[in-house]
Amino acid sequence: MHATTILMVRKGGKVVIGGDGQVSLGQTIVKGNARKVRRLAKGAVIAGFAGATADAFTLFERLEAKLDQYPGQLTRACVELTKDWRTDRYLRRLEAMMLVADKDVSLLLSGAGDVLEPEGGVMAIGSGGNYALAAARALEDGEHDAEAIVRKALGIAAEICVYTNGNLVIEQLEISAS
């Protein structure tokens, strides 16, 4: 996926998802302050999106409907969404990925049918995702909290990836004690 970076970190009683604001069409930046990270399910779920803008709205709406159908069951709602995404004639044309989290679980969703939990509480998607992921993994053992890791790692990705900028949207939730 080009044109964005979304990073999720679960650490120290919080789960944080952050994303940059750049929207690109080919080699042109058309918007620098898009909101690719949102709260869903009356604020109980946070989600970030990498892919086309229209696809984002479609998938956020579909996920919200699944969360209404399966309240408090993020994993079940995500599995049902990815089933639809993979089998529905319209949805399967969407080329996108999502990171979603609630107080208990963090997941990566794709149109290929993936519903994956991160190893170690860190996961990233988008064209700058590997840069942000590497930076976050390097920072996670240090003194930084989840939000600081997300901010620093996305800043590093913005310095490296031409499809990522420094206009960040950060959302966080308190997580369950494990």
d(CA 71, CA 67): 5
> Residue 118's closest CA among 133, 128, 131?
133
Those residues with Cβ within 8 angstroms of residue 170's Cβ, 6 or more apart along the chain or in another chain: 16, 17, 18, 37, 147, 150, 151
- Please check the confidence at residue 3 and state whether its pLDDT lies above 80: no
62-117 pLDDT per residue, tens = 999 999 999 999 999 999 999 998 888 888 778 789 999 999 999 999 888 899 99
C-alpha distances (whole Å) from 75 to each of 32, 66, 89, 109 are 32, 10, 23, 10
- Please check the confidence at residue 31 and state whether its pLDDT lies above 70: yes
Helix, coil or strand: residue 178: coil
- What residues are annotated to the active site? 4
Using an 8 Å Cβ cutoff, are 3 and 127 in contact?
yes
List helix spans (H) across the chain: 53-69, 74-87, 129-139, 146-160
The predicted structure's pLDDT at residue 1: 46
Measure CA 158 to chain center. Answer: 16
